[in-house]
Amino acid sequence: MPSLPAAVLRDPAALAEGLDQHGACLLLGFPNASATLALRSALRLLQADGNLRAAEVGHGRSHQLRIAIRGDDTRWMDADSGAAATAYLSALRSLRVAMNRRLFLGMEEEEAQFACYPAGASYHRHSDQFQDSDTRVLSMVSYLNDDWLPEHGGALRLYLPQGTIDVLPHAGTSVAFLSGIEHEVLPATRERLSVAAWLRKRAG
């Protein structure tokens, strides 16, 4: 199985090269340990307060509940999501600017949501770009679980031109990929916590 190139947040050129050549790249050490802990705590608080909702798929007329497609519970990050979410969105904003400078992708917005997959839940193969919209340009998933082992499963499976790649959800690691790339989330034997994010063009 092929492997993904890897970069760190302070080296956006390496991330841009990985995206340009492979369509996907690991981002190591992001979020860092303290940010991961803060994001996980924020997600746990939302979960305890009953503020996560069953995820939906599509938009417009194709917008529907997750039945048989995805099994995660989510909450969009916004101004009320706390300091950890604000810091994460700020990092996305800086990343968006850096990727635009190097890859000329025309991205003008960022959005992100907390996601919790119960044990056994999955998300079937799909693309993050909607059928009638290409506003999502770059996707990113950041992982929040500690002590993840291969036998826990829960990999993000990317269907890249060079072959299929599985990325395990290790804490402090993110994977960035072009939003048109098909991917799926495989079921895990334990709860899987993450942040899903998208860097977007503005809708015309």
Pair 20, 103: CB distance under 8 Å: yes
Sheet holding 6-8, edge to edge: 6-8, 24-28, 173-178, 136-143, 192-200, 109-117, 73-76, 53-54
- Predicted pLDDT at 58: 59
Per-position b or e across 38-74, b if 16+ CB within 10 A of its CB: bbbebbeebbeeeebeebebeeeeeeeebeebbbbbb
Per-residue pLDDT for the chain (204 aa), expressed as one digit of tens each? 578 999 999 999 999 999 999 999 999 999 999 999 999 999 999 999 999 998 776 554 444 555 457 889 999 998 888 999 999 999 999 999 999 999 999 999 999 999 999 999 999 999 999 777 789 999 999 999 999 999 999 999 999 999 999 999 999 999 999 999 999 999 999 999 999 999 999 886
Query: Do 182 and 100 contact (CB within 8 A), yes or no?
Result: no
Residue type, position 159, single letter: Y
The DSSP letter of residue 93 is: H
The model carries a pTM of: 0.92
Between CA 88 and CA 77 the distance in angstroms is 9
Complete domains list, the chain, with CATH:
6-56+69-200 (2.60.120.620)
The first and second tokens of residue 158, run together, are 């990317």
**What residue type is assigned to position 164 of the chain?**
T
* pLDDT digits 0-9 by tens, 137-176: 999 999 999 999 999 999 999 999 999 999 999 999 999 9
Question: Pick from 166, 120, 122, 174: which is nearest to 144 by CA?
Answer: 174
pLDDT score, position 64: 52
